[in-house]
Amino acid sequence: MLEKERHPVTRFFGGLWKGLDEARRIFVNLLFLALIIGAIWFLFQDDGPGIADTTALVVAPKGRLVEQETGQSLERMINEARGAVPSEVLLKDVIDAIEAGKDDDRVQALVLNLNSFGGGWPTKLQDVAKAVVEFKASGKKVIAVSDHYEQDAYYIAAFADEVLMNPDGLVILEGYGRYKTYMRDGLDRLGIDVNVFRVGEYKSYVEPYLRDDMSPEAKEANLAWLGDLWDNWLEEVADARGLTVEQLEGFATNFPSIVREADGDVAAAALETGLIDATATRDEMRARLIELVGEDEDSHTYNHVTYTDYLEDLDEDRFGRKAKGDKVAVIVARGTIEDGSRPPGTIGGDSTSALIRKARNDEDVKAIVLRVDSGGGSAFASEVIRRELEVAREEEKIVVVSMGSVAASGGYWISMASDEVWAYPSTITGSIGILGMFPTYQRPLAKYLGMRVDGIGTAPLAGAMRPDREMAPELGATIQVIIDQGYEEFITLVADSRDMTWDEVDKIARGRVWSGEDAYEIGLVDSMGDLEDAIASAAKLAELGDDYAVTYIEKDLKFKDKVARMLLSQALEIVGPEALAVGENPATELLRQAESELRKLTELNDPNHAYALSMIEVD
């Protein structure tokens, strides 16, 4: 039976009512969601850390110092809490807290608790040490405490007024070394062919896939920059502790005999050498700090505030997101350079270029400082970023590059479109070269699984780039021509940007890595200095005077990531990270390292399979 057609007026009011009903349900759902979020926000609010009138600022970094945190998705945070990925400590957070505490009358002392410190590259340690020295200049005490000191932790501790260590602890000075896992024999056993194309005898990134040991050229280059880093470390620590370089080097070189002479009491040996000021148990350390800043009657420990709570209490616009007027924009480029859009902690050709465009299109931004901390990656993505900076300069924006720990290969490529390049003496840079890699696994398919690939195509390249087929010799020869051309382009860009001839650049290129001080001597960088120096220089070049703001241009976290981060952070404060911790053993760690090395082959995504990569990885 056919349904009787409704009157137009009835249809209109019926549709209107249905629409209103749908709008009501949407409104109620949104209101309900807002109430839930509000309740969560309310539950996790507190009244702040409650800073005493005389207190100690405690800097207890748990993890490795980084220029930029890796994209903090829920999965990343859970894995970090479980110990499945390294914990990260934002360098800017540590420095900002120390600098603010210097001028805060409530903060009477700085405590460097280095028990859980995961270390960092020399440039990052130097930035923290600089902040510590400036804090001391205010007349306030700096106390370093730890059960033991590894080399990176001891570097920071050396700048304190007092270095305290547990009587059962030890100081370990390893020097600097460079060791990689070489896989040629293993890959041969598996039947995996890694087709490699490169220019430059020092381009050692591919060596783990081609050799079972480090090449003489790589040893020569590595020993040169490692020696520079070690010399700087010894000189700076010796100066901070009032020791001689010979005393420090002797402790590191003769450690086994020193331990034997001390009957195994390493703490006593460190005390006698002058590396520490006193041995103290934890209760004795606590008593020393109570004497310095007073006692908290509730917790019966010394008055203190952690640097993370202190930063929240400051409630300042530390990243300059609300800044007005003339600005210097800082863009952090940290990690491997990859094609496309990438999360923080990795450099994306598209995503990093978008940040540069954002700064370029902001009329208040008069200068851009690119903070580079990268060992390179995709040559194509590197050129996309370099060109974006070049456009910014064409539009009369000042561009200054501040090299962090590493600015090598692709990291150097993206540094070339700039008015100035700044580096630390211990920056790792250069590695001007290019390579290509394409692994194939047709042999293990045939040997172990009895599987073979065959077919037909209408042109020579049909199916030629399949990883389950052997690479045709003519294709390999073609790729090598492309790599050669990429090297020519790289050298030409460097020559143009550094006002050098092609031959002059080629002599210091060929994939060789240099320390910052050597790079300065051979003309690859303009000045020695840190990020603060680079920002000041950018402002001077832009003729901004002293009246300007510094703003960090960053990719915003998605709302869901912000909520997940807040909830997990609060949950971990309640149950502790131990609730998520997983056991580890040497076998699984070894397999993880091998898996990490092999995974790099699949993560590289240059459309031309051409890479400006160094063997130096960023923290």
DSSP string for residues in 436-450: EEEEE-HHHHHHHH-
Catalytic annotation, pick one of 351, 378, 409, 415: 409
Residues forming a β-bridge with 513 = 430
Q: What SS3 class is residue 350?
A: helix
Q: What SS3 class is residue 369?
A: strand
Q: What SS3 class is residue 361?
A: coil
Look at the chain and count its residues. 619
153 in Cβ contact with 119 (< 8 Å)? yes
359 in Cβ contact with 326 (< 8 Å)? no
Residues forming a β-bridge with 111 = 58, 143
The three-point CA angle 160-164-166 to 5° equals 150
Number of helices (H) and strands (E), helices first, in the chain? Answer: 23, 25
Give the tokens for residue 374: 């990268």
Nearest Cα residue to 525 out of 390, 424, 382: 424
DSSP letter, residue 149: B
Q: What SS3 class is residue 421?
A: strand
Nearest Cα residue to 502 out of 518, 488, 521, 519: 488
527 in Cβ contact with 537 (< 8 Å)? yes
Is residue 569 among the annotated active site residues? Answer: no
**Rounded to whole angstroms, how far apart are CA atoms 331 and 347?**
11
Angle, in degrees to the nearest 10, between helices 379-394 and 473-498: 30
What are the residues whose beta carbons fall under 8 Å from the beta carbon of 219, sequence distance 6 or more?
none
| Residue 274 φ then ψ, to 5° | 95, 10
Q: Are strands 278-279 and 162-165 parallel, antiparallel or unpaired?
A: parallel
Instruction: Tokens 């040497």: give the residue.
Output: 586
444 in Cβ contact with 450 (< 8 Å)? no
Q: How far is CA 101 from CA 53, 313, 378, 533, in A?
A: 13, 12, 41, 22
What are the residues whose beta carbons fall under 8 Å from the beta carbon of 285, sequence distance 6 or more?
145, 164
494 in Cβ contact with 506 (< 8 Å)? no
Give the tokens for residue 566: 């807040």
Is residue 141 among the annotated active site residues? Answer: no
> Tell me, what amino acid is at 44?
F
365 in Cβ contact with 392 (< 8 Å)? no
Question: Could you tell me how far CA 452 lies from the centroid of its own chain?
Answer: 43
Helices (H), 499-558: 502-508, 516-521, 531-541
Catalytic annotation, pick one of 102, 140, 180, 203: 203
Greatest extent of the chain over all pairs of C-alpha atoms, in Å: 106
List, by residue number, the catalytic residues.
203, 409
